[in-house]
Amino acid sequence: MSLHNRINRSELKQKMEGSKEPRITLSFYKYHHIGHPSLFRDHLFQYFSSLDILGRVYVSVEGINAQISVPQKNWDQFRKELGQEITFLEGVRLNIALDDDGKSFFMLKIKVRDKIVADGLNDKSFDVTRRGKHLSAEEVNAKIDQENARFVDMRNHYEWEVGHFENALLPDVENFRTALPVVEEMLKEEKEKPIIMYCTGGIRCEKASAYYLHRGFEEVYMVDGGIIEYARQCQEKNLENKFIGKNFVFDERLGERISNEVIAQCHQCGKKCDTHINCANDACHILFIQCDECAQKYAQCCSRKCQEYMALPEEKKDKLKNKIQFNGTAFGKGRYDALKKDEPLIIDG
């Protein structure tokens, strides 16, 4: 069996978009010492391929971080066998997607990395096993109403822009590595107060809670299972849902609806909207929010420049793509001032 994909990306995506097979999207993670990550990766690829599982998985010496989709017909087998096939995953929580069209992934990628989450921390400098306390959805709601508690979003700004907990502290960062010192600086005078952290599925907060306890914060909590598990518990137990808007997800869906409120705006016209897309110009590919009207006006591009570039003949585009600076080459995710300038494509010669 091949241990890598042999079909090109566009073919796989087209196949998935045309498929009517029901699939279940989920995520899970586990911190665990893995002695030979490359061997584990190959075993996992074979096992997941045998069940036609698609998704993106990171493995390292510290564990596994997985976002996958499983064919509904193989779901019972997957749940039954996962802990038997990989013993340290026995009993691991599976965070099942709340708003799922079954087309979250179209290929299987399993990569070996130094860490399962890029945090920039020296794990040997503090006790990574001394972590904060997990809170259930009921406990989260009670803590939110606690006057001196600080609720902290540990995600990137393009994630919390479309949805977040009420009155949460929202750091303006593009990655988790940056979030850690930024949040510490924001709360440096409040280390005696309770802090409650949350992220998508909980993995970022596991390490962050240990880091902040090491840095002198006295009372550190985290939302058990992240936004996904919180929302599930609210539905199951008929609790008040204090998360407003969408939960950003890192797959083809780019978001799942948690509440009906739309709290973000189209980055081109300012209309209320929380639909993330990537610019249709692959030479740009910037992630941004676009309403239906602007999608039609700009042909799903982030700018007139990208739209005009996309209309060029393929041979012309090939000659120009590395000579033109698009929004995606000039700005990180979520930096959208340039989108409003609407500059035309200018071709010298």
Residue 340 Cα distances to 82, 86, 272, 311, angstroms: 48, 50, 16, 20
Residue 82 near residue 66, CB atoms below 8 Å? no
Residue 225 near residue 136, CB atoms below 8 Å? no
Q: Which residues contact 16 (CB under 8 A, 6 or more apart)?
A: 54, 103, 105, 106
Of 236, 262, 258, the C-alpha closest to 249 is 258
Residue 318 Cα distances to 3, 48, 77, 300, 321, angstroms: 32, 37, 47, 20, 6
199 catalytic residue (yes or no):
yes
Catalytic residue among 199, 205, 273, 306: 199
Q: Is the dihedral of CA 21, 27, 32, 38 positive or negative?
A: positive
Of 18, 296, 263, 93, the C-alpha closest to 163 is 263
The residues annotated with a catalytic role in the active site are 199
